[in-house]
Each structure stands twice: as C-alpha cells, then as structure tokens.
Chain A
Amino acid sequence: MVLTFTPNGIYCPAGDFYIDPWRPVDRALITHGHSDHARPGHARYLSTDIAAPIIRHRLGEIELETITYCEKKDIRSASVSFHPAGHVPGSAQIRVEVAGEVWVVSGDYKVTPDALSTPFEPVKCHAFISECTFGLPVFKWLKDDVIKDEINQWWADNRAQGRASLLGAYSLGKAQRVLGLLDPNIGPILTHGAVENTNIVMRNQGLTLPDTIHVTPDTDPKQYPGALVLAPTSALGSTWARRFGAQSTAFASGWMRLRGVRRRRAADRGFVLSDHADWDGLNNAIAETGAEKIFVTHGYTDIFARWLGERGYDAEIVPTEFTGETLDDGDTE
C-alpha cells in the first residue's frame, strides 16, 4: 500500500509522512490552508509556495518547507509532487509514487477555473483518494459569469432601494473569489476583519483583489450607502451586522443549490458558488485520473461509492475528519 488510513490520518509508510493529518505528527504534507486540513501541532510541514503564506498566517510559527506545483521531491523511498486542485489559491492534490505505483490524494478540489486559483489539472494514477462533498446528481454549478451577474444585479437593486448588501462567504478563498466577481462601479465594498485578514495575506503575495474597506469599530456605515459587505457567514444576523441598517442578506455556497437549506439559513438570497467539484466535475475528474481504485472521503460517501461501484470502479469509503463545505456552518470549509 502506497498510502494507509490511520487514526492520525492518511499515512505513507515508505516516506514516513502524513497528508493533512488530524493529530500532531512529525511530518505533514498539507494540501491547502483550510482549518480541517492544515492543523496546528506538527513538527514539520510541507506545502506549495502559494499556499504557504495563508498557512503561516493561520498557524503562526511553524517549520514549513515549500514546493512549487509539479516539482518532484523524494522523501525516503517515496517520490511526492503537488498538483493544482483549483480549490483555493495554492491548493494541491498530492501525488505519491512508491516503486512505480502512483496514488493521488485530491484534498478539496474544483475543476472549473476561477480568477485566483491555479486551474485544476488531472493527474494519472492507480489509486485516487477523492473528496465527494457534493457527490449527488442534484449538485450542478452554473458558470461563474452567470453567478457574477446575479450577485451584481442583487447588489445594484439593493443599492437602488437604499439597502446594504450583506454577503456571507467563507473568509478564506470563497470571499476572495466573490471579490473577483464584484463590479466595483456599483458601490463601495466593505469587509469584515476575518475576510480582510485573508485579503491582506493574498495581496502581499501578489494576488490581485479589488479595493476594500475594512469595517472597524470606528467605521460609520452611513458614509458608505449602498455598500456590499463581505463577511463570514456567522457574522450575518449578528449584532455586528446590525450596524448596516436596512439590508438584504445572502450566502455564497454550493449548498444554496438546495432551497430548503437556503430557507433554513433565513437569507434573502443564495448564490450557488462552491469551491468544490459538482457532480459532473467529480465524475469527470475521477475518470481522467485513469484510476481503478477510488477511495471516497468526506461528503455523501456511501451513495457516491455505490454509484462508482456500479460504474465499474473499485470504490471504497474512507472515514475522515475532514468536513468540506458543511451544510449548517458555512465557516468550516
């Protein structure tokens, strides 16, 4: 076995390292900076150079070595390389080769391109460990252009009616992708601190984002009529959000595809925007790896594994502590 599944996480015996481990280990290869994948407490970290600033920002003083996409590195008798996963800037699939056998850990991935992340690239392998957060045929994403128009129209309408537009999105990745879709001609863009912190890190590493105004206790919302306010989903409906007065609320998440979820979150609008692959995306990505053995991790694993099984794959469910883009707490992704 190139990789095994242990209580600490995915482990490579030949290289003596873990991929996105859940408990402190000596050597951790990290696919991306989301908190269910990049956890504190490991002795040594390895990530892509693009993902590194965020991981450092979140985990503080850690021993972090970086690697560029597609660069090969030998760790003991294993050869590893990181390949674009298209999930958030710097996110990677990790390819591990031991004695000619290739396994790939997908991490979280999205196959359609966006303005910030390096586009997903399929990697040929024998075994593919895939997430399936949205592994049901009801999940199909529209093109970013369509969502872009929806969001800007909503914002412009709100502005015309004298309301602020409060948009909840996960502060790492999703929020910046939304920023790239906004039309700054409509009005000012305000940001919650959690979003702005990530913006600063990304701007410092050379990614282009539109101008934003950080909301501080001294900010007077009246000075920014018709603003779009970008905040973590948990901030919507809070006392923090009340300062903006008359407002329309919305969430940007793949779960907004389901009307019931959107209604439960009691938002006025839901924009279907996910950093994960949709049903067709998952199926195409898996087909393109050429792998026969598929391990499915977080998401609708039992249903998706059965589907893959019927399609002729040797599919197996791997229990994980990854959470993906969760349904009721949009803040862990």
Chain B
Amino acid sequence: MKRFVALYAAIDQTTKTSAKVAALADYFATAPDADKLWTIALFSGRRPRRAITTTKLREWAAERAGIPLWLFEESYPIVGDLAETIALVLPPPSAMQRRSLSDWITYLRALERVGEEDRKAAILTAWDQMETTERLVFNKLLTGGFRLGVSRKLMTRGLAQATGQDEAELAHRLMGDWQPDTTSYNALIMASDPSAGLSRPYPFCLAHALEGVPDDLGPPQDWLAEWKWDGIRGQIIRRGGTQFTWSRGEELMTDRFPEFARLCDYLPDGIVLDGEILAWDHTADAPLPFSDLQKRIGRKTVPKKLLKDAPAMLIAYDLLEHDGRDLRDHPFTERRTRLERLLSTVPDEAPVRLAPLLPNNDWAALADLRNDARDKRAEGLMLKRGASPYHVGRKKGDWWKWKLDPLTIDAVMIYAQQGHGRRANLFTDFTFAVWNGNELVPFAKAYSGLTDAEFRKITAWVRKNTIERFGPVRHVTPEHVFEIAFEGIAASKRHKSGVALRFPRMARWRHDKSAAQANTLGDLKEMLAQYG
C-alpha cells in the first residue's frame, strides 16, 4: 500500500490543484491495474463493504493504546476524524508490511467470513505493521467515507493525463453502477465495448448560481428560461429494451420510482431524458411540496398508499440521447425541439411532462415572473443558453440557476458543537431557537455561512459561555442572534417547534440585535401558513 499512501500524502501535502493532478497522473501511470481500479473506485465514492463496526474499532484502538474508552471518545471530536484518531493514539508499529492496496482490501474482505476474535486479531496485527499515515488510510478503508481532498473530477483529470484519453469521455465511462468486482481496469478504462454501458448515465450538466440580475448575460432571446423545480435531478435511460432511473448522486433509483416503468408504453428505445423528479398532485396537475417527495427518498420499496399519495413525475427538460445517438454536442434548442416532438404524443396519464418554457422577451419581465416561483413550488428560474452543448459537470457561462432570495428569520444560538475534518476544534454546528413567550424553542440546526474568522470568534466565546455540557454538545448562554436563511418551510410532527426548514444556514451574525429581539415561534408559524 506504500504507493497508494504516497499518493495520499502527495495530495494531502499540497493545496495546489495542479500538484494533486500530477500526483494522480503519476500514480495511474505506474500502479498495478488492480490498485488503479480500486483507487478509481475509492475516489468516486465506492468502497469495500464495512466489515467491522466503528464501535468495535474504537474499543480495540483504545485497548491497544492503553487508554480508557472515554478518553478516546473525548479525543475524537478534537481530532475531528475517527480514522485519524485511531491512527494517532496507537503505539508505534513493531513490524512493516508490503501488501498492495488491493491486497489489503482482499484481507479486509476475508474478515467478513470469520468470527469477532479473529477479526480483532487481524485488525490489531494490521495496525501494528503500519506507520501513522498508512494507518489513517487503512482506517479510511475500514470506516468508509474516503474523502481526502480529491474530487472525482480531479481523479478523472489525473487518469486522463495518465492514459491520454479525453477527460469528458472518461467521466462518462466512470458513471453508473460498476464495482471493482464486476469489472477490470482494462474493461472500465481502456476497452471499447459498447454493450458495457447499457445502463450508464451521462455526467450531469450543472448550473452556476447567478448573483444579482441576468442583464449581463446578453440578449434574453439567446436564452431559454424554465422554472427551477424543487425535486431530485434524474436521468431516465431507455436502452436495449431496459430502463434505468439515475439520481444525480449516481444512485440507481429504478425500483424506488416504479411509476416510470410505464414510460415504455409511450417512449421509444434509445433515449436518455434529463429532468426533475417530483411528487405530483394529479388533480391540480402541479407539484406537491418537497416534503411529500421526501417520504419516497430513502425507501427501497414503496408501499401502495405512498404511491397513491405521492406519485412521482418526471419534468423532462433535456434529451441527451435519441435513436441511440449521443446528442450532447448539439445545441440546447435542437435537443429541446426533439424533446418536444418526442413528448407531444404522450398522454396526460403518463408520468412525464415537458418542462414549460417561460416567456423571455426582456429580463425585467422575467424577474417579475421569478417572484412567483414559490407559488409554483419552484425554487427560482433556470437560464440555459440556446446554443449551448450539454456540458460535463459544472462549467460556467451556459447554465445559470437564478434562485429566489431565501426566507429569513432572526434566531438565538442555544447549543454549539464542534465540527469535523478541517473544522475540528472549532465550534461550527449550532442549534437555533425562537421565542415562545419566555421560552426558547429550538427549530433549526445550521453549520455554514460564517467565515473562518467568525467561527474562531464564536468558538472562543462558546468556550467561555458554556452553561452545560451534554457529551459533545454545549448549552451556551442565549446571547447571540443570527439571521437564518432557508429555502422552504414545512409542518413537522418530529420537531418540537412543529416546523422543518430546508437548507437552513447562517446568513449573517446580527451583532446589532440582542437575544430579546430575535423572532418568535408565532413569526415562524406565520411563515409556515404563507409558504408551507
């Protein structure tokens, strides 16, 4: 694993993208195929099955380090990473190993078939053969969550450099539900096998947020405007008589949304649709709130009642493949025309709708329309350049999301907790409350929106103003007011406040307000009535 650990260290020891890519390219040019395949898998979010619970890992690490478990647990939030905490507390190794990355993965997989005592012995032996950085990497294999400062995009770029292949083409090859066990490096990266990619989705084209107004984008006639729907981005793929539904997170969701199976009655083979999956109110022919869709996310099988109460709908806005041909290089206007033609004969009972285009003759009128987005259960507008291809990933300039200004409320911080990773040791996770009479009722958690300097300031304050500690959570003096911004509000039985917010974050620190001047639960309920 030395080579992989060296790659990890090289990536970890620089903040420069070019150096990271160079390290990856170097690795891909020299490592054995089995290791390369696993490296690609790990950096694209695939990992070996977890053979051992983190509870056991903590116990064994504490025992091996000769410290009580509580001391390990106290150290963990300060380090901010479990794999790293284990690596740091263990005593120095007594031997050195020479296994490769894929050998270690095989070693770990063998543990699935043995009893706990043998697992423990195997892990302790492994730890005793590694220095700190190797242990950290090894523990990441054990605990999953292999995020080490390399995005999938960088990994793909390094791989492109090493193999001389086109980056976009590689990104496409890496999509889908392949696993290191079901393919080989050669089949995945090098071979040209058209049938290999039957289920393979295209890399999603992503939009940048538009700050301010679109006046600088040029004549509005160059642009197509749509609602920005508040659902799950998805691709529906019909190839070779089979159909697949993919989420943007590359999760295969075919079975979670069985409604879409009926599309085979209406749509031809050899197409890929890109669109938004929503829960649909068929009576009103309009979307249901996101909270209804949420009930369907995370369910592998859907009970009948839910299928009836929150049926899924695809609002299609792009056609990426037609007659088995990749259309992504064609201008959006042409793809859109083909999509319109394709859907023109589809009846209303089909679970697909064409995303309506919004009139777009001048920017000011469009801005007015945007203000109605919330009534349409949309988050704002999408602006797509008519002449643009379907890009791989997030490229600036052709797709813009022009979101509504968020809703805001002023709230008092009452609990604080330390963050993880690069935010370890800083208090970054806060619980906010509003007034209900003389009582503060918690209603939202937020952990983003402040600068590092502000987090440092609030951290110093939390340390001096802790009233009570519940494990890692500090109850603090109710003193600081923050403006909480959020995208939506829904009724919730699970929360004491009776509401649940979407994407709450700290918009700003209201130094000008005292705790008494924060908003009330009544204000929140009013927002629920208006926007919920």
Contact = CB atoms under 8 A, between A and B. Distances in A.
7 contacts: A138-B75, A140-B88, A257-B88, A261-B425, A264-B426, A268-B14, A328-B456
Contact of A264 (B65, B79, B149, B452): B452
A259 B89 contact: no
Given A137-B71, A258-B84, A303-B75, 9 more contacts: A137-B75, A258-B80, A260-B421, A260-B423, A260-B425, A264-B452, A267-B15, A307-B71, A328-B456
B65 A260 contact: no
A138 B13 contact: no
A182 interface: no
B15 A310 contact: no
Given A137-B89, A268-B15, A260 B420 contact: yes
A138 B78 contact: yes
A136 B74 contact: yes
A146 to B, nearest CB: 11
Given A264-B422, A268-B13, A269-B13, A259 B81 contact: yes
- Interface residue tally of chain B, by bracket? 20 to 34
Given A137-B67, A264-B452, A259 B15 contact: no
A281 to B, nearest CB: 15
B74 A138 contact: no
Given A137-B67, A138-B89, A263 B74 contact: no
A138 B298 CA distance: 37
A260 B456 contact: no
A258 B425 contact: yes
A16 to B, nearest CB: 31
Contacts of B15: 266-268
A313 interface: no
Contacts of A138: 75, 78-79, 85, 88-89
A106 B517 CA distance: 47
B68 interface: yes
B12 interface: yes
Contacts of A260: 79-81, 84, 420-425
Contacts of B420: 260
A4 B42 CA distance: 57
A327 B78 CA distance: 11
Interface string A294-332: 000000100100110010000000000000000110000
A263 B149 CA distance: 10
Contacts of A267: 15
A139 B14 CA distance: 23
A273 to B, nearest CB: 15
Contacts of A307: 68, 71
A307 B66 CA distance: 12
Contacts of A137: 65, 67, 71-72, 75, 88-89
Interface string A120-162: 0000000000000000111110000000000000000000000
A263 B147 CA distance: 13
A231 B131 CA distance: 31
Contacts, number: 70
Given A268-B15, A269-B13, A328-B456, A263 B71 contact: no
Contacts of A266: 15
A309 to B, nearest CB: 11
Contacts of A248: 14
A64 B45 CA distance: 63
Interface residues of A, number: 24
Contacts of B81: 259-260
A328 B454 CA distance: 12
Most chain B CB within 10 A, of A137, A140, A303, is at: A137
Most chain B CB within 10 A, of A138, A139, A258, A328, is at: A138
A122 to B, nearest CB: 22
Contacts of A257: 88
Nearest to A280: B91
A303 B71 contact: yes
Interface string B338-379: 000000000000000000000000000000000000000000
Contacts of B70: 306
Contacts of B12: 259
**Majority secondary structure, B binding face:** helix
Nearest to A161: B19
A124 B508 CA distance: 54
A300 B68 CA distance: 16
Contact of A136 (B75, B80, B149, B452): B75
Interface in B462-483: none
A261 B424 contact: yes
Nearest to A267: B15
Interface in B1-52: 12-16
B425 A327 contact: yes
Contacts of A300: 74, 78
When A and B form their complex, which 7 residue pairs have the shortest distance between CB atoms, in order from nearest? A260-B424, A138-B88, A263-B422, A260-B80, A264-B422, A303-B74, A137-B89
A310 B14 contact: no
A300 B425 CA distance: 12
A258 B424 contact: yes
A232 B158 CA distance: 35
Contacts of A327: 425
A133 to B, nearest CB: 12
A327 B423 CA distance: 12
B150 to A, nearest CB: 13
Interface string A218-261: 00000000000000000000000000000010000000011111
Nearest to A136: B75
Nearest to B421: A260
A290 B377 CA distance: 71
Nearest to A266: B15
A266 B14 CA distance: 9
A300 B84 CA distance: 19
A136 B422 contact: no
B66 to A, nearest CB: 9
A138 B61 CA distance: 12
Contacts of B84: 258-260
Contacts of A328: 426, 456
A333 B426 CA distance: 19
A259 B84 CA distance: 8
Contacts of B80: 258, 260
A230 B327 CA distance: 56
A1 B224 CA distance: 81
B146 to A, nearest CB: 14
Nearest to B420: A260
Contacts of A259: 12, 81, 84, 136
B421 A263 contact: yes
Nearest to B459: A328
B424 to A, nearest CB: 4
Interface string B417-434: 000111111100000000
A151 to B, nearest CB: 13
A152 B246 CA distance: 50
Interface string B123-159: 0000000000000100000000000010000000000
A138 B76 CA distance: 9
A330 to B, nearest CB: 13
A191 B461 CA distance: 35
B151 to A, nearest CB: 15
A149 B97 CA distance: 23
A260 B411 CA distance: 29
Most chain B CB within 10 A, of A140, A248, A259, A266, is at: A259
B472 to A, nearest CB: 12
Contacts of B74: 136, 300, 303
B527 to A, nearest CB: 35
